[in-house]
Structure 1
């Protein structure tokens, strides 16, 4: 039991703290990638796959049309994946010759992106979620990196806010997570590059963009094609977007379980990227950032159970057991009662527990062969 306890403790410490510390230290020994000054703005295709996004699609299109492109020719492809609301009609009502609207039967986001890519004529494809409003300067910040022929793709930064307008809750905790995750991406930039993109906004050279495998996380599958081709995937913090997170625990759980199941399938489909002899620093980053992190639920369970068995064998084990029981009790209470989540420590505990339970359930769904193809955006309610 001592062996299991300390193995679990060390692995979790590496995942949550150690990897980041080592990464930041190593990244300071490497120069910041330079951006050539003499770049020619490429033609850009914005690709937006949407399902029942009538509430936001007009704002999204106006937001995209209003972005500074420094003279780049821009086209926007909206693919409505069998929407049962007015997503397609509202998209067409935004009268601009740069917008093309495709309507498909309900077939899933991967197929929608594949059909959209067939209509894209740009040198660079910018993928962006329908509910992700982009900040001024985002497009220029993404495109300038493509002056470097070694860069195959660029991902942006997401800021998360809670839908209830309060300082606590799931939105507050997820916002902290994204700040942590993007601090890692900044350090990863200097070594092997960003591990993968996040679907809110990222850009890829057209020659690397292809329809993702159904049942996988499309942003991961699409973006790592640049890495597979020997190019760098970069993180650009000045390409910014803000998204609102629902406070519905059940809705967030469903989204995260589905995401975890698809993430395992995506990672295993790209297992060759874990080869350090072929992909160098990137392989270590992918192993630590994605694989080890997704094994955390296993080590959390082992830590808890071995700790309970070691109570009475020293003050440290007793202290750790009390701390764990208290933490999980607070998390469960906060998940059950939304008013408790306004207390920030309870919000963080509930988010931590929900995220890791969802990862565990997602893994079991993947292991059983369950495949989620059709996606439904998580909304408040």
Structure 2
């Protein structure tokens, strides 16, 4: 009986281990390898589009000027680009800073919500002023665009089957604890987006820079991640999301573990709620290969947060059953130990940034999904910026 129980435990251990490895690395490596031999999509000549960049801002006076200048400095060719900034009850002079940076440029319009209505409320106010025949470019107020970003982002729309285009995030290395690990993660994620784009379409948007045809944009729910639900809405309407690697936006991340933890909890809770809203897209009978991508990239990757403690418990119970179990247990304890030491002290051991991002990231995911499960809803935002 004891041997039977141990055999079941070993089977559960390897199932858990395989699920974690697949979600974190296996899926990406398989998809990148598949993309190398997958037929390339047909290219379409560049076409001019009418586009409006919609920026929701809450107390962004320190960053909005650089944002506006980086947009107005874009070489847009034949594209008609307008900029609409909606200040969500800012009380730090955000509107004035935006107008100063615009220097009277007629392409820029600045609105105020009057009160604090939340990011979704600000976006919905802005969307109400954009005609259905335009393309809406969404971009965070605290990011800046590299030259050529707008043209690169609009280029995929020459394909009538494309409903949205996703830009690339570039994180400057400021020497913070999490900066280096974030840069490594986004480098891998960008490679995965290129592969997904070639096979089934990019999975979803990241809020720093993306664009969607206005006719496909639905009202943004206050308690869901706007970038996720807006991009998934385009897929739900039968369109594909394209990745535009030349559309680069630069945005710094929080260097502090506490700030990053809070941000990830809120964004994951809202993102998970949005994913559940569009759970039908994970049905391969409806969306084909895209369903596998969505399950692997969004659903399974978040389930890792709950599989990791299971693996830790099982490897502890099986540590005396063979060197492989002991080695995996020691590896886990080293990662979590380095992360705890780095997050609570000034000691920086080798691999500290990766271990900290890995541990805090999955802890934040677990907390966020548990918050979602008990009905917690984050609807307002107060962006935290480092000086």
Helix, strand or coil at the partner of 2:233? helix
Aligned equivalent of 1:25, options 33, 41, 45: 33
How far off its partner does 1:339 sit?
4.6
Per the TM alignment, residue 194 of structure 1 is displaced from its structure 2 partner at its CA by 0.5
Match of 2:187 in 1: 179
TM-score (norm 1): 0.95
How many Å separate the matches in 1 of 2:326 and 2:155?
A: 55
Pairing 1:220–2:228 present: yes
Give the whole-Å Cα distance in 2 for the aligned partners of 1:336 and 1:202: 36
Structure 1 residue runs of 5 or longer lacking an equivalent are none
Q: Deviations over 1:44-79 (max 9, x none)?
A: 101000000000111111111111111212111000
> CA shift at 1:35, angstroms?
2.5
> Is the counterpart of residue 378 in structure 1 residue 381 in structure 2?
no
2:6 matched to which residue of 1? none
Say whether the 8 Å CA contact 1:248–1:380 is kept in structure 2: no
Q: Which residue of 2 aligns with 1:365?
A: 371
1:27 shift after superposition: 2.0
Provide structure 2 residue ranges, at least 5 long, that are not aligned to the other structure.
Answer: 1-8
Within the alignment, does 1:84 sit opposite 2:91 as a pair? yes
The correspondence for 1:138, drawn from 134, 140, 149, is 149
Q: Which residue of 1 aligns with 2:213?
A: 205
> Per-residue deviation at 1:337?
2.1
Give, in whole Å, the separation in 1 of the partners of 2:217 and 2:347: 44
1:111 corresponds to 2:121: yes
In the alignment, the residues of structure 2 paired with residue 290 and residue 356 of structure 1 have an alpha-carbon distance, to the nearest angstrom, of 13
Is residue 2:196 matched to residue 1:188?
yes
CA contact (8 A) 2:165 2:244 kept: yes
Worse-superposed segment, 325-334 or 352-361: 325-334
Q: Give the drift of 1:241.
A: 1.1
Aligned to 1:266: 274
TM-fit CA distance, 1:11: 0.2
Q: Which residue of 1 aligns with 2:75?
A: 68
Partner of 2:284: 276
Structure 2-normalised TM-score? 0.94
Question: Tell me, what secondary structure is at the counterpart of 1:183?
Answer: helix
Q: Alpha carbon RMSD of aligned pairs, Å?
A: 1.3
Q: Deviations over 1:217-271 (max 9, x none)?
A: 1001111121111111011111001111121111111000011111110100001
Give the stretch that moved more between structures: 286-295 or 204-213. 204-213
Select which of 34, 44, 49 maps to 1:42: 49
Q: Secondary structure at the match of 1:244?
A: coil
Distance across 2 between alignment mates of 1:245 and 1:85: 21
Matches within 5 A, 1:52-63: 52-63=59-70
- Segment of structure 1 superposing worse, 241-250 or 357-366: 241-250
**Number of aligned pairs?**
375
Cα offset for 1:338? 4.0
- Structure 1 partner of 2:250: 242
In the alignment, is residue 345 of structure 1 matched against residue 356 of structure 2?
A: no
Residue 163 (structure 2) pairs with residue 152 (structure 1): yes
User: 2:177, 2:256 within 8 Å by CA — same for their partners in 1?
Assistant: no
- Give the 3 Å change call, closer, same or farther, for CA 319–87 of structure 1 in structure 2: same
CA contact under 8 A between 1:117 and 1:210: conserved in structure 2?
Answer: no
Contact 1:77 1:119 in 2 (8 A): no
- Alignment partners' CA distance in 1, 2:55 and 2:322: 57
Is the 1:47–1:128 contact (alpha carbons within 8 Å) kept by the matching residues of 2?
yes
Q: 1:233 aligned to 2:241?
A: yes
Following TM superposition, by how much is the alpha carbon of 1:40 offset from its aligned partner in structure 2, in angstroms? 2.9
